[in-house]
Chain A
Amino acid sequence: MSLAAEAFVGQIAAAEPWPESATLYQPLNDEQILLSDNASSLAVQAYLKMCSLPVRVSCRVNAEFMSPSGKVPFIHVGNQVVSELGPIVQFTKAKGFSLSEGLDDVQRAEMKAYMELVNNMLLTAELYIQWCDDTTAAEISRPRYSSPYSWPLSHILAYQKQWEVRRKMSAIGWAGKSLEQVYEDVSQCCQALSQRLGTQLYFFNKQPTELDALVFGHIFTILTTRLTSDELAERVKVYSNLLSFCKRIEQTFFEESDQSPGSSRYSKGPTLT
């Protein structure tokens, strides 16, 4: 969102309370959604639950195209539409709900930095594995991404998305990486997160922040998604404090309303064992 639009939305947002009819849109859960989108969507859901803001999850085939920035998930609140975790956090802040108010300056700097770390490494690695690894792309990503459409649109859309992601990878210098190196990067990122978390309940004090929501979204999705190989999940499972962190958040924020977070992986149901 441009700055002017953000300021405008912020002003309007502050005026109205959070409606009951707030909806979160994402691609279809069972057939269409991919790992990276699922992670982002789960992160937003977790964040909203942490703020105790009610939101309905609505699955639409064309969620990606409905979104104002082209990325999922996006929320429809009142008469505003906001996409991606960063702007959504700003939006809820304008309405008076914020998780990071208690942090001092240094902590806020660290929080933002770690969020960028997750976006930079984990999200990029997920995109790489989905679209730049030929096996995964052919067996999982392309069929799933284009499942709601009929031929030839499915063919065109899938290849277009793949081409787009591959171009982005070469722009940021990931095109030359091998799958092994990407797994290594994921390990490093998880190690950093694990170090930062240590033995604490959440990343900062005893209260969850948007960083916790983001990390939960990605780690939980990686752990519960079946891909062509289990290497990614295995790499993450090494860090036991991250595992218990995810379980804790799932139990605290998702099980109370008896709503399983982003269910159904590509083969069996989610189990966080």
Chain B
Amino acid sequence: MATPLELFCWKGNWGLPSVNTECLIVLAYARFAGVPLKLHKTANPWGSPTGILPALKTQENGSFSQPSKIIIEFRKQKYNADFDLSAKEGADTLAFISLVEEKLMPALIYALWVDPKNYVEVTRRWHGDNIPFPLNFFLPSRMQRQQLARLRLIKGDETLEAGEDMEKELYHDAQECMDLLSQRLGSSKFFFGDSPSSLDAYVFGHLAPLLKIKLPCGRLQQHLKSLDNLTRFCSNILTLYFPSEPNEGAAHKVSTQPEANEFDNEPNKRRKQLLSLVFALGAMLSYALLTGIVSIEHVPTEEDLREPQGIAEASPGEDEE
């Protein structure tokens, strides 16, 4: 009955189906509700119908980009993971989603995009490696600026900078949020009974990157790992619903010496270097020829010397220039 829905989302790594929180939310919900999706895993946001990822493309209703809108669209097409929830549980869902978005999301943005060490060594590297040429030169830093601006606006503080104070405050809120989630989850498999719902998707989308991405400054990660039930919750969802994700994290784990591994990670780098060298030489040579710094002398051959005298006198004069 359903015309296939197409979902464009960020590629995965480190055992995750996608590295982006919003994509993870949408993917998890789709798996929970059994939505038949045509998945496009890409690292090029400009290739999606709305210009940002994730994006859902439907035949009739156009394209959507925000997770909440995408989930509403799924529900409209009768794929509803919240069907079995009571009214009170539905209310709790809204409340806890708000909690996660207010307290946990800013810290996640900070940890991935604003913290200098994490950004340079992990986020920017991954995006630089995976976004196609030539977008990978400017997109990562543009995304970083956008995320920093977003964090500033959410917090209402225009002077927010990466720093210990800001980090402490954000992480404190996030740790409190994780503790609250852990208390609410208790020892059950999912937040509401035995089958997952949209709240599970949201919590998974926010916690899974923290759990799996190896960050050099990982205070938040350590706190999450100390909460066993949340760790189990995430691993559970990963094994049950995303069993076949390749774990490329293993290959990247040894890249603590960046210089040694850079050529291994980029097979095209040699070719690009050679091309740029050839281009540079060509440019310099043509400039030199055109301005006359270097000139090609026309050495008169035997045939030229047999020409009538008039022309022979003229040509050496020109060649001396």
Contact = CB atoms under 8 A, between A and B. Distances in A.
B91 A3 contact: no
Interface stretch (B11-19, B135-143, B150-158): B150-158
A116 B202 CA distance: 15
Contact of A193 (B91, B183, B184): B91
B61 to A, nearest CB: 15
Contacts of B154: 168, 171-172
A113 B183 contact: no
Nearest to A197: B91
Nearest to A196: B91
Given A116-B95, A119-B102, A198-B88, 19 more contacts: A2-B169, A3-B172, A4-B165, A108-B180, A109-B184, A110-B92, A112-B99, A113-B92, A116-B102, A117-B95, A117-B99, A121-B94, A121-B98, A171-B149, A172-B154, A192-B90, A192-B94, A195-B88, A195-B90
A196 B99 CA distance: 16
A2 B159 CA distance: 14
**Which of the listed residues A2, A70, A192 has the most CB atoms from chain B within 10 Å of its own CB?**
A192
A2 B98 CA distance: 22
Given A110-B184, A120-B101, A173-B66, A192 B153 contact: no
B165 A116 contact: no
Q: How large is the interface on B (under 10, 10 to 19, 20 to 34, 35 or more residues)?
A: 20 to 34
Contacts of A195: 87-88, 90-91
27 contacts: A2-B168, A105-B183, A106-B184, A108-B180, A108-B183, A109-B180, A109-B181, A109-B183, A110-B92, A110-B184, A112-B99, A112-B176, A113-B96, A113-B98, A116-B95, A116-B99, A117-B95, A119-B102, A120-B98, A120-B102, A171-B154, A172-B154, A189-B94, A192-B90, A192-B95, A195-B87, A196-B92
B282 interface: no
A119 B168 CA distance: 22
A180 B154 CA distance: 23
Contacts of B156: 69-71, 168
Nearest to A2: B165
| Interface size, A (range) | 20 to 34
A117 B97 CA distance: 8
Nearest to A109: B180
A69 B169 CA distance: 14
A213 to B, nearest CB: 17
A242 B149 CA distance: 37
B193 interface: no
A171 B95 contact: no
